[in-house]
Amino acid sequence: MTETDDKLLKRFFSEHKKEINDNGFSRQVMKNLPDRSLKISNVWTTCCGALALILFFMLDGLQTTGDILRETVTSVIQYGATNLDFKSFLIAAAVLLFFGIRSIITAN
């Protein structure tokens, strides 16, 4: 199309423009549409969580976590037992536990 045709079309449509009353129709349609993105997000989160659990157990995550904790405790006992404050350790563990539980609860 040429520039003249564009101008003619724009003028024609601007002269014959009609307003159609909505009467809340668009709002009702949007309210009744399914929230597909939320469903997809929930499915994706479930699949990733299941995959993480499967990989954790397949790659012997419990054994690895236990080994790391054992080595950490052994290192602390061997090299830093004189300066170890048990209350600070409990407070740090409680804070980490709190944030972990809160993130799990808010993720759902």
Has residue 9 been placed in a domain? no
State the residue range of the domain holding 57: 26-107
Q: Identify the CA nearest to 89 among candidates 61, 62, 103, 69.
A: 69
How many percent of the chain have pLDDT more than 90? 19
How many percent of the chain have pLDDT more than 70? 94
Number of domains in the chain: 1
The pLDDT assigned to 7 comes to 85
Has residue 63 been placed in a domain? yes
> Helices (DSSP H) in the chain: which residue ranges?
3-15, 25-32, 36-58, 61-80, 86-107
Has residue 11 been placed in a domain? no
Has residue 88 been placed in a domain? yes
Has residue 45 been placed in a domain? yes
